[in-house]
Structure 1
Amino acid sequence: MPETERYTDSKKCNEDRGLNATFGRRTTTEKEYTAIFVNSNAVGALFCDGEALSLKHTAGVVVVEINLGDVVYIRTHPQDPVGGAIPSGGVAFYSYLTHHESNPGHHQTIVFDSVITNVGGNYNRHTGTFFCPANGVYTFSWTLYCSAGGHIYSEIVVNSNAVGAMRCSGEGANTYRHTTSVVVVEINQGDAVYIRTHPTSSLSGYLPSGSTYRSSFSGWKLF
């Protein structure tokens, strides 16, 4: 029997498995529709009606089969109405890593934990993931530093598919080196975009970042 797990932001599956997931919402005076997603596919939904004098809550349970690398998360429903304000206008974010990643491993999501810009609120600093709010063409850029004598391979991933890759090498150097890469991709509402280390390529040294040299991740919608 699969174990039951609770998701507060998002979680990436680390093995092929069955999954029981519980999710719930609590609201005061508003109606809210939410859905649980695997990558960009809704696998469950619920409605919470808070039109009452006290808090109301609703809980839902799904049982799904998911695969290695799948991202599971909760969001408001993209089509049904929500009682609160909905961000409008452009989409853009910029975030950076506030500390050294001393021992990065293979297939590791890099969580850029400090957010400078987050227009639309679609980047999650706790998981390092940008969730696409609307179909369109987007630009993403990431910069990584590597330690002297080291090297690191990284990828930008949409759901579980790598759409760009980069190598940073400090080999032969006596100080940090950095590399920046840019991709322009067409993505769909609900897609999850994040940076990870390469699943199999070798890693050496550590990933530096700080206030005066920032390993960073940014993106914006073109049209």
Structure 2
Amino acid sequence: MQYTLCVVLTVGSCYGILVQDPQLYEQRLGHLESLVQQQSTKISELETKLANTHAGGTDPVYFSAYSQQTLRPGNHQAIVYDSLYHDSHNAYDQTTGFFTAPVKGFYVFAWTTEINHGYIFDSELLVNGARRQKNGCDMVGATQGFTTCTGVVPLELKVGDVVYIRSVSGNYVLGNGWLSFTGWLVHK
């Protein structure tokens, strides 16, 4: 009796080996089953590792704050967003307006303001007191309407880095949720 052992080396290809001895066939089949099991284990390990690398792993970091109050900030004043939609790690301080990075990684931050005609609100995002991005929102010459301005910045942060929004020049910004500050960890 003859057996043909098929070893798949590439997708769609099969190379037959003529086996005269059934014990040799069983031995080779056992070896191939062992290889398949090893590969399955490696695939499972890689899938777990990949799942843990997405969006910072299994412990996502994010916050979304907004202001209920209409503000009339002076120049170079930290903006305090007094309400939270979400704060996964209690990293945003509603009394100071500061977000403190709970883990090292690559983050994205966005802040949005809406102003009325006749007003201005230029702002900046700072990390540990150093400007990293500016956002201008100017309706000084307008006689009607509103405008919404958004700044977005990616940042690499260390544990304990402090991120916040500060006015550059401004005299008015709408509250009631029109003023917001959001951040999330993209990758550890």
Query: How many Å apart are 1:99 and its aligned residue?
Result: 1.0
Q: Distance in 1 between matches of 2:181 and 2:133?
A: 13
* % identical aligned pairs: 33
Please identify the structure whose Cα radius of gyration is greater: 2
What is the alpha-carbon distance in structure 2 between the residues aligned to residue 168 and residue 195 of structure 1? Answer: 14
Unaligned runs of 5+ in 1: 1-87
Does 2:114 match 1:114?
no
Match of 2:180 in 1: 216
Q: How does 1:61-76 map to 2 (within 5 A)?
A: none
C-alpha distance in 2 between matches for 1:110 and 1:137: 23
Residue identity matched to 2:185: K
What SS class does the counterpart of residue 137 from structure 2 fall into? strand
- In 1: Cα distance, 2:162 partner to 2:186 partner: 17
| Matched letter for residue 197 of structure 1 | S
C-alpha distance in 2 between matches for 1:149 and 1:112: 23
Letter in 2 for 1:195: I
The aligned counterpart of 2:119 is: 150
Alignment check: 8 A CA contact 1:169 1:178 kept = no
SS where residue 207 of structure 1 aligns?
coil
CA RMSD across the alignment? 1.4
Shift of residue 217, structure 1, vs aligned partner? 0.2
Q: Distance in 2 between matches of 1:112 and 1:89?
A: 24
Does the 8 Å CA contact 1:92/1:219 hold for their aligned counterparts?
A: yes
The C-alpha deviation readout for 1:3-49, integer Å capped at 9, x for no partner, is xxxxxxxxxxxxxxxxxxxxxxxxxxxxxxxxxxxxxxxxxxxxxxx
Task: Give 1:133 deviation, angstroms.
Answer: 0.8
Tell me the secondary structure at the aligned position of residue 182 of structure 2: strand
Which is strand-richer, 1 or 2? 1
Q: What secondary structure sits across from 1:222 in the alignment?
A: strand
Cα distance between partner residues in 2 of 1:166 and 1:206: 15
How far apart, in 2, do the equivalents of 1:167 and 1:179 lie? 7
SS at match of 1:193: strand
Cα distance, 1:112 vs structure 2: 0.4
Q: Distance in 2 between matches of 1:140 and 1:121?
A: 16
Moved over 6 A (4+): none
Which residue number corresponds to residue 206 of structure 1?
A: 172
Residues 184/174 of structure 1: CA separation in 2 closer, same or farther (3 Å cut): same
Residue in 2 that maps onto 1:104: 73
**Whole-Å Cα distance in 1 between the matches of residues 96 and 143 of structure 2?**
32
State the shift of 1:104 in Å.
1.1
Q: Does 1:175 align with 2:139?
A: no
Distance, in Å, in 2 between the alignment partners of 1:152 and 1:120 is 30
Q: Which residue of 2 aligns with 1:62?
A: none
> What residue number does 2:99 align with?
130
The TM-score with structure 1 as length reference comes to 0.55
CA distance in 2, matches of 1:173, 1:163: 32
Q: CA deviation at 1:175?
A: 2.4
Task: Give distance in 1, aligned partners of 2:143 and 2:60.
Answer: 41
1:219: how far off? Answer: 0.2
1:173, distance to aligned residue in structure 2 (A): 4.6
Structure 2 residue runs without a partner (length 5+): 1-57
Q: Secondary structure at the match of 1:206?
A: coil
